[in-house]
Structure 1
């Protein structure tokens, strides 16, 4: 018996991929336009709303993995999306002092290009059942440059924000309180920063292995 939900899943993924594609395309357009016309100091303020919407929508990908709608392992999806959510909400949105830093522009450019190629790839795959060879190559090759660039910028921006996090004591919970617990956002940010050391190489190796497998299968089909 066939899976009657398949057509609806395909329709949903087609809509999700192309909607997110256009969201990131808008982010890239605004970043480049603002960078050329006003300078890097104004990039975040110009792109904030579409950036927050486009990146926060990625939480759905974690849910897709949790409920088994996609085959991507949650162990690979969650760390990448979690780090980005932390950066846009926990750093850039929470601490305005970090928004005008020069690393914001290359971060958003690398994120945007990576996401545009990824969602275009899956958008064609869901809508037409095939993908242009150029998109296949871009999807599984561009990350070799974009991922390290993005990671470098993420680490840099978290580091830049640390003094402001410590001084403001934002999101900190001090004892005593009715919950009988304490939380230090400054030290938590340092822990997250430290997790990039083992996490980034592991994720990069996973993506390289995935690239070899996909491109090898593609050559066999030709």
Structure 2
């Protein structure tokens, strides 16, 4: 969550709140990634990784992001409302609308054998988790008044080139896998998910180009400063 610029940046209670919010998210996402990686490296099967990391850990951690929409609406941060809402909505759809009702169908929990959905879930955890550790860490350091190391800034504005495609492709895979079981809830649910998949095409382009523009602005500013 980017704080406002220093000339009109947060102060007092707002600054303390944003620092606490970003630090909490840094710790939560760091726990998600570390726990999932530890299970994977220990040879735990993918369906079990889903069962152990999804609820309540990932579910609660990702649900915290809904506050970012409120922060943008309230003017606490300078993050664009539309891009913030798009990203948060897509994540909430995945954790509440796909993983929650269809975990046993598309994530191998029933068969105890890894399915395509299990790999997509792991892709989401990796892409979301690493991205958020870097992002929330960046903002926490900034809000604490310290100088962000150049290597952390580089990670903040460059790793999305790889992580974003991994995250988007994993999300779309999970939504596609949920089309069949969604019909058991409502005959209209698969059509709604199909529309969402179609929305991902322009939505992904908007978010990706927004991040590229952010990177260009920051990297250009750093090159001029040097």
* Matched length: 208
Cα offset, 1:94, TM superposition: 1.2
- In structure 1, the partner of 2:46 is 40
Larger radius of gyration: 1
SS of residue matched to 1:47: helix
Structure 1 residue 82 and structure 2 residue 89: aligned? yes
Q: Does 1 or 2 have the higher relative contact order (CA < 8 Å, sep 6+)?
A: 2
Gaps of 5+ in 1: 171-183
Instruction: Name the counterpart of 2:27.
Output: 22
Q: Does 1:208 align with 2:226?
A: no
CA distance in 1, matches of 2:16, 2:107: 37
Asked if 1:118 corresponds to 2:118, the answer is no
2:184 equivalent among 167, 170, 176: 167
Contact between 1:114 and 1:143, CA under 8 Å: does it hold in 2? Answer: yes
Give 4+ residue runs of structure 1 displaced > 3 Å after superposition. none
After TM superposition, the score normalised by the length of structure 2 is 0.87
Deviation readout 1:140-163 (Å, 9 max, x if unpaired): 111110001100000001001110
What stretches of structure 2 of length at least 5 have no aligned partner?
Answer: 1-6, 109-117
Which string of whole-angstrom CA distances, capped at 9 and with x for unpartnered residues, describes residues 105-141 of structure 1? 1211111000000000000000024211111111111
CA distance in structure 2 between the partners assigned to 1:50 and 1:70 by the alignment: 26
Alpha-carbon deviation of 1:46?
0.8
Per-residue deviation at 1:102?
Answer: 1.9
| C-alpha contact 1:30 1:46 (8 A) present in aligned 2 | no
1:151 to 168, 178, 182: 168
